[in-house]
Chain A
Amino acid sequence: AQKITQTQPGMFVQEKEAVTLDCTYDTSDPSYGLFWYKQPSSGEMIFLIYQGSYDQQNATEGRYSLNFQKARKSANLVISASQLGDSAMYFCAMDIRVDNQGGKLIFGQGTELSVKP
């Protein structure tokens, strides 16, 4: 069965330092997508970064990068130069296809990141 696991319920990082948020996944489908979302205290889910299972290079978006290790089935999010505004809940998600019509997401439990000044 497809599954996403985030083992860090909460993390602290000092402002301006880098932080890695862990995500492992389980699927037998050869084609899948991995996403990271940020959820500030306001509640809205904000898309951060996407990695396709066939992508050769790790995805990057500004200060966000995705450390994709396919053999280990891991898709860790790396945030460089943390800012106070990065304090939020972070969710890892995987897109799976249903009856050849993809787009269904399954989510991990989330990691709450707190950035210290």
Chain B
Amino acid sequence: DVKVTQSSRYLVKRTGEKVFLECVQDMDHENMFWYRQDPGLGLRLIYFSYDVKMKEKGDIPEGYSVSREKKERFSLILESASTNQTSMYLCASSPSGSTADTQYFGPGTRLTVL
């Protein structure tokens, strides 16, 4: 079974702090994604990566950056956390670039910024 893990289920940070959200997948997938989920808005793509050291902006990249130094690990970085970044963050991976490839999700990290 595909397994995607995220470093924390719940996280509380203060405004201005630098926040790292880690995601690891164990199925050698090329693609990895970071989404945020807010009520009534569904999931929105922040950043994605098709390969090591590659990254692409999604629909809402402002205030975020990412790092992918190893194939299995994709990190989301909030350089200076703000209260409007309080949200559920979901990481996903998929095996290739075709339209038929399902994305597999981690359990999510619920981040609260005070």
Q: Using CB atoms and an 8 Å cutoff, list the residues of chain A in contact with chain B.
A: 4, 6, 9, 31-33, 35, 37, 42-47, 50, 52-53, 91, 93, 95-98, 100-110
CB pair A102 B58 closer than 8 Å: no
Q: Answer whether residue B62 sits at the interface, using C-beta atoms and an 8 A cutoff.
A: no
CB pair B99 A31 closer than 8 Å: yes
Once bound together, how far apart are the Cα atoms of A34 and B8, in whole Å? Answer: 30
Give the interface size bracket for B toward A. 20 to 34
Q: Answer whether residue B75 sits at the interface, using C-beta atoms and an 8 A cutoff.
A: no
Q: Using CB atoms and an 8 Å cutoff, list the residues of chain B in contact with chain A.
A: 9, 31, 33, 35, 40-45, 48, 50, 56, 58-59, 88, 90, 92, 94, 96-108, 110
CB pair B99 A44 closer than 8 Å: no
Nearest-Cβ distance from residue B101 to partner chain A, whole angstroms: 6
- The listed residue (B42, B59, B96) touching A108 by CB distance below 8 A is B42
